Chains A and B, each alone.
Chain A
Amino acid sequence: MRRPFLNILLPLGTGLLMVACWYAVRHALSEDLKFLLPTPDEIWAALQANSESLSRATLNTSKGAVLGFVLAVVVSFGLALILSLSHLIRASLYPYLMILQMMPIIVIAPILVLWVGAGLNSVVIITFLICFFPLVVNTTQGLISTDRNLVELFRMYRATRWQETFWLRVPAALPYFFTGLRIAAVLAPIGALVGDYTAGSSAGDGGGLGFQAIIYSSQAKYSALFATAAVTCILGFVFAGAVNILSWLALSKWHDSYHRTDN
């Protein structure tokens, strides 16, 4: 069978199998426990019933996720350029970047609320913190992994520091940058959701998906909670898909990763 065909058929088959198992488990549960696992059709119904609040929450979370993500991309790129200058700079800054990554969000969140207030500001900063590390690490690695022979070529032709950076090191780092971007794209909606859950606010145009999750769980609306999880997954797919398209546009013409002849 042709591979493109299999590529669609196989995940579709796995999905159907999982849904079948889902219904089977639900069927096996005793009546008083059935509320623990709503079926896909119940979740679909909850999605429709709560469409207004969910779509508003999705919009708010997307806003936080996009802003935090873009901020992380811009800042990490600038920092990676500085870090790529010398290993002394990397040695001085890396431990603190690690600390930034280690800091637990649920501890940071109340502090952020104190500093910048609950709501979008905090959500953006939390998303930024979650996306930042994989971006800066991968981009820096890319910037310092330039082919030695190409660097030698540029030096022999007396390229300026600027030319060496922006004509050689930056394009050569693109594959690494996109590796970081893929990771960050999946983390961004989760970051925004966690941010919203821990530092969200219903003020203004209402909270995001995290805030909505708090409301549904306090109201014991379990189907709606599942619906919220589904929407978050879809948001993640949209982010990952957008980054895949960007990556394809930037790399497909020249990079070997798009032209594997094996497997």
Chain B
Amino acid sequence: MPVPPIVAFNHVVKRYGDGPVVIDGIDLTAAPGDFISLIGPSGCGKSTLLRLIAGLSPLTGGSLTVDGRTPEDAAAELAFVFQEPTLLPWLTVAHNIEVAQQLRGVSAADRATARRRAVELVRLHGRDSAYPRQLSGGQKMRVSLARALTLEPKILLLDEPFGALDEMTREHLNEELLDIREKQAWTAFFVTHSVAEAVFLSNRIIVMSANPGRIHREVRVDFPYPRTEATRLSRPYHDLVAEVSGLLRSVENT
């Protein structure tokens, strides 16, 4: 018996008010455990797709189910990571990590347990009482990631989370994200501008075209997990990066 999809877009159309159609006729289903990267030129509506899954904005047409329910009803199954670390500067690292749970009314004892587990996952030891201004860009992003992981979400929405980081930090965090995925089974929707990052992380890459946002092509990435530095050095990896880059160039030129 096939596993029911965790997210299912069915002919989804979205426009804001009387504005132009942002995304048009999206059909996409995600199986539990999928790591789906969304890549495409600016204006292709990749961030809008995340907002729709999050139930922050109503559909204009089509239907969308998240964990078998409407996006609004499934909100508790989701966690988010943005490009900005979005930490509260007046709270310590420990409090920042617990904020998402606090908003959902989790008890103090349960918050502390989940926080310790998340700190373990993102490898950010001994910084519990630090304030965000004392952290590096990579450390802030680890806090932001830990905050999302404390919710043990079924679906993780990541909107260019590592876009502002330097190459080295980004690669480290990519590897750690996959490590975490081995221990916490969520389905990921990952918006990025980096083809290399998309190929390294995902099992599916959705290349989108803009005006209006449509799915141009889906690319399957069949390298086995766990992926490591060796994956990045392998020939098939480079071939696939070249292929996806080519697809991206073709949609950007039209």
Contacts and interface: CB of A to CB of B under 8 A. Distances in A.
Interface in B74-118: 75, 80, 82, 84, 86, 88-91, 99-100, 102-104
B56 interface: yes
Contacts, number: 47
B132 A153 contact: no
A155 interface: yes
Contact of A259 (B84, B104, B133): B133
Nearest to A158: B75
A157 B100 contact: yes
Contact of B54 (A156, A168, A174): A156
A157 B103 contact: yes
A166 to B, nearest CB: 12
B131 interface: yes
Contacts of B89: 254-255
B86 A171 contact: no
Interface string A151-172: 0111111110001000110011
A253 interface: yes
A94 B133 CA distance: 35
A160 to B, nearest CB: 8
Interface residues of A, number: 22
B84 A254 contact: no
B139 to A, nearest CB: 15
A215 interface: no
A149 B100 contact: no
Nearest to A256: B133
A25 interface: no
B133 A254 contact: yes
A151 to B, nearest CB: 10
Contacts of A156: 54, 56, 80
B123 to A, nearest CB: 23
B133 A159 contact: no
B10 to A, nearest CB: 23
B86 A150 contact: yes
Nearest to B54: A156
B86 A149 contact: yes
Nearest to B129: A253
Contact of B82 (A149, A255, A256): A149
A150 B132 CA distance: 14
Contacts of A159: 103
A255 B88 CA distance: 11
Given A254-B89, A259-B133, A153 B56 contact: no
17 contacts: A149-B86, A152-B86, A153-B80, A154-B103, A156-B80, A157-B100, A157-B104, A167-B88, A167-B102, A167-B103, A253-B131, A254-B89, A254-B132, A255-B89, A255-B90, A256-B133, A259-B133
Interface of B: 54, 56, 75, 80, 82, 84, 86, 88-91, 99-100, 102-104, 131-133
